[in-house]
Amino acid sequence: MSENIRVAIDGPSGAGKSTLARSVAARLNFLYVDTGAIYRTIGYAVWRKGIDPRDRSAVVAVLPDLEICLTYGTDGLQHMELNGMDVTAEIRLPEVSRYASLVSAYPEVRAYLLEMQRQLARENSVVMDGRDIGTVVLPDAEVKVFLTASAEERARRRMLELEERGTPEPYAAILRAIQERDWNDTHRDAAPLRQAEDAVLLDTTALDFVQSEDAAAHYPGEDGTMSEKRPLNGFFVCIYYLVNLVAGILHPVTIIGRENLPEHGALLCPNHNSNWDPVLVALKVPVNYRLHIMAKKELFCNKVFDWVLRKLGAFPVDRGEGDIEAVKTALKAIKSGDNLLIFPEGTRVEHEGALPAKGGVAVIGIRSGAQFVPVYVEGNKRLFRRTRIIFGQAYRPEATSRRPSPEEVQAIADEVLRRSYALGKEAR
């Protein structure tokens, strides 16, 4: 099996494929491949030569004369070169869109570019967007997403984009062009636009990607504080499903007892044996489950983990310094009706009893009035090997007061950890 991961994002023009794909690729350090730009380059070449895009033989005849290169500039963005000239800006002209849609329907054109696209995926982990990536170009991609939006919303986005570039077009004309392209893309004989059977469907009609990403990026804030509510916007949902799919390939998980999760005010308490634990547990609760994660600050040193964890609602805690601010953040989350994921052991351990539970989990639970949910995470984390996560029954610990003695605090913390490991023993 290849070590490279292939993410295929398909959908109609203007649905947000490129914005999402570019962002995900940058965050995961994958190569971003905008296949639409490649087809636009051929469309631009045909347009510049004055060839009728409906003249199939004339379009095919020009292909041998084209040298198309995909490069990446110092800005990290994909650039398209045609016969040695950078045409990245030119291929975005409105008239080129119609040419690209028409010429991309020809099997000869698609065959001409197919190997180029597959070669990129063989040599790199890629996020590739287009219209037939998951169905034709990379039918065995590990992750497939189909993005869509209403034609009216896509026309509005395109109108704003053109206005920002100083080349405005009337909304009605843009809408007609999008509807025409949709029809062409879905009715062509060669690789028509359609959702792959195993692709996740995401509708971005109500989503402004730039604003949503900005909102998500500030939650939690860089200072570790939380906004009042988890930002369940389209961007978060897209990232949730993408990361879930990638993680599902690397570490398949069987979930047991998810129905035991209280809707509000719960303290999820798993055992801890791998750096993957916070991500896997957070991904296996429902996407609309209001969950925050208290995770050791060392996990945030890795850029990929930092980005994924923060997008999932995590905030760092300094385990060795009595991090009062992290405790306040945790209490605020639970008292606002949200739920918190916290690891009683505080660090990874190889087996039960290797370390006692940290008293902080009891203090947070008692002071917030939270329900404790023991969670067992199986220790087998080898790549591509299935593991299990078991959610136990919620309960409230019996405490003599809101400020119990140190001995009582430790007993409460030890009890939730004991229950977590007991779930694993019962399931064997």
pLDDT tens digits for range 63-109: 999 999 888 776 667 899 999 999 999 998 888 988 998 998 899 99
Beta bridge partners of 78: 72
Instruction: Flag whether pLDDT at 260 surpasses 80.
Output: yes
Beta bridge partners of 42: none
Q: How many CA atoms lie within 13 A of 426 on its CB side?
A: 15
Which pLDDT value is given to residue 385? 78
Mean pLDDT of 395-421: 90
pLDDT digits 0-9 by tens, 170-220: 999 999 999 998 998 898 888 889 998 878 777 777 655 443 343 333 333
Question: For all residues of the chain together, what is the average pLDDT?
Answer: 83
Under 8 Å between Cβ of 195 and 140:
no
The pair of structure tokens assigned to 82 is: 């045609």
Instruction: Flag whether pLDDT at 161 surpasses 90.
Output: no
Question: What CATH number has the domain spanning 6-204?
Answer: 3.40.50.300
Q: Fill in the amino acid letter for 78.
A: Q
Which pLDDT value is given to residue 61? 96
Mean pLDDT of 22-44: 86
Which pLDDT value is given to residue 239? 65
State if pTM tops 0.85: no
Which pLDDT value is given to residue 227? 37
Whether the domain at 6-204 and the domain at 214-427 fall into the same CATH topology: no
Max distance between CA atoms of the chain, in angstroms, equals 86
- In this structure, whether the domain defined by 214-427 belongs to CATH 3.30.70.20 is answered with no
Mean pLDDT of 210-233: 37
Listed by start position, the domains of the chain span 6-204, 214-427
Which pLDDT value is given to residue 28? 72
Which pLDDT value is given to residue 226? 34
Which pLDDT value is given to residue 7? 87
